[in-house]
């Protein structure tokens, strides 16, 4: 079977899917049992025709595919994939390069250097910072915090890479009460248990309070790491990083910024004020697969001083060939050893959109989030709970006849998901149930927002009236 047959089959199937994606029922339509029936079966014992395999696979998976690439998916913070990034991803798969070592793919190594430079300029971060291309913000948090752990302990006379953590000086780790679960997870892998973290109070939008941080920082001493956040997953609010960094640095602490999506505010002049001073932090973790709209998986671990990042990550063995110093060794910057070349779609995206196109994507989706908030809040019984400063909208729906807002909101979310016009999830925000709407897809239009708002409001009317419960996906 030739490459041409299978690749043209995949091309046709992918194209069909992408052509229809905007019109699809947005959520999954099949139950797990349905999918087990279509996708499952006994272990295949012999060969099959690969074209038939691809056709069957596409048909069997289809009802379980969620149209996250479409314009009306507002769950989590997901983002789609700009067309050229999908194509570049395919090309990268055909090349099947390993980005772990320069000799394994000089092209990938140089592309990583080039894209790192472009990204640092676009984000307004120091041009000498180290950049690692990770699976996502989660592993970026891990990478950055490993560098932080290395450096604060090095300053205390301890080499954590060789001496380990068990007898090391105690490191204080301070996080906001609204810290993302990913930062806590990354800290856990690094030996900092979640009960050991010192939690700093936040305001009503979830922003860390600098006065509370000060009280906690001055009440102890020794090596310290402060984890700040730009872009709260519910409200979109950013910690006051300028004050946090000045304070933490005056006490010798490392400041890490989790900016999975919020860091991209840096690309838009009128949004940059929300994260003013962020460039003075010591490390930054962000995602490309969310707001930058490249395919999964793609994150960025950025560390101001490359030395601790390399000290924490690099692996050396005689057979892992290194060349000239300037030849990038991919495995020096991230937890992985062998690794796919996820820089390729990023390269294509930046070449295609340019700095202005990226800024426009971020700016436009923020505008669409405000449009959604405005459409919803004018309806009776709908409350927008957050200040819509970025791309996140948090909504609560009032009930009727003694039905609580919490129950009604949970019901509205279930109905919206079953309806399929758009998809939004929920969260528990400061004691109440809320619908979370994240606008982060390059292809969303004003019309998509209006159509989605209408569908959400209809679900609210049905839920408030106590109409028949939402049908479950079948």
Ligand X SMILES: *Cc1c(COP(=O)(O)O)cnc(C)c1O
Tokens 């696979």 identify what position? Answer: 57
According to the binding rule CB under 6 A, does residue 77 interact with ligand X? Answer: yes
Q: Report d(CA 250, CA 255) in Å as an integer.
A: 11
According to the binding rule CB under 6 A, does residue 137 interact with ligand X? Answer: yes
According to the binding rule CB under 6 A, does residue 208 interact with ligand X? Answer: no
Size of the site for ligand X (CB under 6 A): 14
Concatenating the DSSP letter of every residue in 242-291 gives HHHHHHHHHTT-EEEEE-TTGGGGGGSHHHHGGGTTGGGSSEEEEESSST
Region of 21-29, 215-223, 227-235, 370-378 interacting with ligand X (CB under 6 A) = 227-235
**Per the structure block, which two tokens stand in for 34?**
């349905």
For 212, phi then psi, to 5°, come to: -70, -40
Q: Report d(CA 364, CA 433) in Å as an integer.
A: 28
- Residue number, 111 or 285, with CB nearest to ligand X: 285
Q: Minimum Å distance from CB 42 to ligand X?
A: 34
Q: Which of 112, 258, 282, 336 binds ligand X (CB under 6 A)?
A: 258
Q: Report d(CA 24, CA 335) in Å as an integer.
A: 38
Region of 119-127, 237-245, 254-262, 358-366 interacting with ligand X (CB under 6 A) = 254-262
Partners of residue 427 on adjacent β-strands: 434
Q: Report d(CA 68, CA 327) in Å as an integer.
A: 37
Quick one: 269 exposed, middle or buried, by C-beta within 10 A (0-12, 13-18, 19+)? exposed
According to CB under 6 A, which residues from 144 to 183 bind ligand X? 180, 182
Region of 130-138, 143-151, 215-223, 357-365 interacting with ligand X (CB under 6 A) = 130-138
Position closest to ligand X via CB: 136
Q: Report d(CA 109, CA 343) in Å as an integer.
A: 9
For residues 184 to 203, the per-residue mask of contacts with ligand X, x marking binding by CB under 6 A and - elsewhere, is --------------------
Region of 28-36, 39-47, 135-143, 213-221 interacting with ligand X (CB under 6 A) = 135-143
For residues 282 to 301, the per-residue mask of contacts with ligand X, x marking binding by CB under 6 A and - elsewhere, is -----x-----------x--
Q: Minimum Å distance from CB 317 to ligand X?
A: 28
According to the binding rule CB under 6 A, does residue 333 interact with ligand X? Answer: no
CA dihedral 98, 100, 106, 112 (to 10 degrees): 100
Task: Please give the biggest Cα pair distance in the chain.
Answer: 74
Contacts of residue 100, defined as CB under 8 A and 6 or more positions apart, other chains included, come to: 329, 330, 331, 336, 337, 338, 339
Region of 132-140, 268-276, 316-324, 346-354 interacting with ligand X (CB under 6 A) = 132-140
Q: Minimum Å distance from CB 139 to ligand X?
A: 6
Tokens 């990550």 identify what position? Answer: 313
Assess whether the previous peptide bond of 468 is cis (omega < 30° from 0).
no
Q: Report d(CA 313, CA 190) in Å as an integer.
A: 12
According to the binding rule CB under 6 A, does residue 132 interact with ligand X? Answer: no
Q: Minimum Å distance from CB 449 to ligand X?
A: 21
For residues 11 to 30, the per-residue mask of contacts with ligand X, x marking binding by CB under 6 A and - elsewhere, is --------------------
- Residue number, 263 or 456, with CB nearest to ligand X: 263
According to the binding rule CB under 6 A, does residue 79 interact with ligand X? Answer: no
Partners of residue 175 on adjacent β-strands: 199, 227
- DSSP assigned state of 190: T
Region of 34-42, 48-56, 131-139, 197-205 interacting with ligand X (CB under 6 A) = 131-139
Q: Which of 125, 260, 382, 463 binds ligand X (CB under 6 A)?
A: 260
- Residue number, 77 or 174, with CB nearest to ligand X: 77
According to the binding rule CB under 6 A, does residue 138 interact with ligand X? Answer: yes
Give exposure, 413-438, as e/b (b: 16+ Cβ within 10 Å): bbbbbbbbbbbbebeebeeebbbbbb
Task: Give contact residues for ligand X (rule: CB under 6 A).
Answer: 77, 136-138, 180, 182, 229, 231, 233, 258, 260-261, 287, 299
């Amino acid at each position: 079977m030739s490459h041409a047959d299978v690749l043209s089959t995949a091309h046709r199937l992918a194209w069909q899917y992408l052509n229809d994606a905007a019109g699809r029922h947005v959520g999954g339509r099949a139950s797990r049992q349905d999918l087990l029936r279509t996708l499952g079966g006994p272990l295949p014992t012999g060969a099959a025709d690969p074209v038939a395999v691809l056709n069957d696979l596409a048909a069997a998976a289809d009802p379980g595919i969620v149209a996250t690439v479409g314009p009306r998916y507002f769950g989590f913070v997901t983002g789609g994939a700009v067309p050229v990034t999908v194509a570049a991803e395919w090309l990268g798969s055909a090349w099947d390069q390993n980005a772990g070592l320069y000799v394994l793919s000089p092209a990938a190594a140089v592309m990583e250097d080039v894209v790192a430079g472009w990204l640092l300029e676009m984000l307004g971060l120091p041009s000498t910072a180290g950049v690692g291309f990770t699976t996502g913000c989660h592993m970026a948090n891990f990478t950055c915090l490993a560098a932080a752990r290395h450096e604060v302990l090095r300053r205390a006379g301890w080499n954590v890479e060789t001496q380990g953590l068990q007898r090391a000086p105690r490191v204080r780790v301070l996080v906001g009460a609204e810290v993302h679960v990913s930062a806590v997870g990354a800290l856990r892998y690094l030996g900092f248990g979640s009960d050991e973290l010192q939690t700093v109070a936040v305001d009503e939008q979830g922003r860390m309070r600098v006065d509370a941080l000060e009280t906690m920082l001055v009440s102890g001493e020794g090596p310290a790491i402060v984890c700040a956040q730009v872009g709260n997953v519910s409200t979109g609010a950013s910690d006051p990083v300028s004050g946090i960094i000045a304070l933490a640095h005056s006490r010798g602490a490392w400041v890490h910024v989790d900016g999975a999506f919020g860091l991209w505010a840096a690309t838009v002049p009128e949004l940059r004020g929300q994260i003013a001073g962020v460039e003075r932090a010591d490390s930054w973790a962000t995602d490309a697969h969310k707001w930058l709209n490249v395919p999964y998986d793609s994150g960025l671990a950025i560390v101001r001083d490359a030395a601790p990042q390399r000290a924490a990550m690099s692996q050396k063995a005689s057979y892992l060939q290194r060349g000239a110093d300037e030849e990038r060794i991919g495995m020096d910057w991230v937890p992985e050893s062998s690794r796919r070349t996820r820089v390729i779609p990023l390269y294509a995206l930046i070449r295609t959109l340019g700095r202005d196109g990226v800024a426009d994507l971020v700016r436009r989706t923020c505008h669409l989030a405000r449009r959604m908030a405005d459409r919803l809040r004018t309806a009776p019984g709908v409350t927008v709970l957050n200040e819509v400063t970025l791309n996140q909208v948090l909504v609560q729906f009032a009930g009727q006849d003694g039905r609580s807002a919490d129950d009604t909101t949970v019901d509205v979310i279930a109905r919206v998901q079953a309806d399929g016009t758009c998809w939004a999830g929920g969260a528990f925000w400061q004691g109440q149930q809320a619908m979370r709407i994240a606008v982060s897809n390059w292809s969303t239009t004003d019309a998509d927002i209006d159509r989605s708002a209408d569908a959400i409001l209809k679900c609210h009317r049905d839920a408030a009236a106590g109409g028949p419960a939402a049908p479950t996906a079948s």
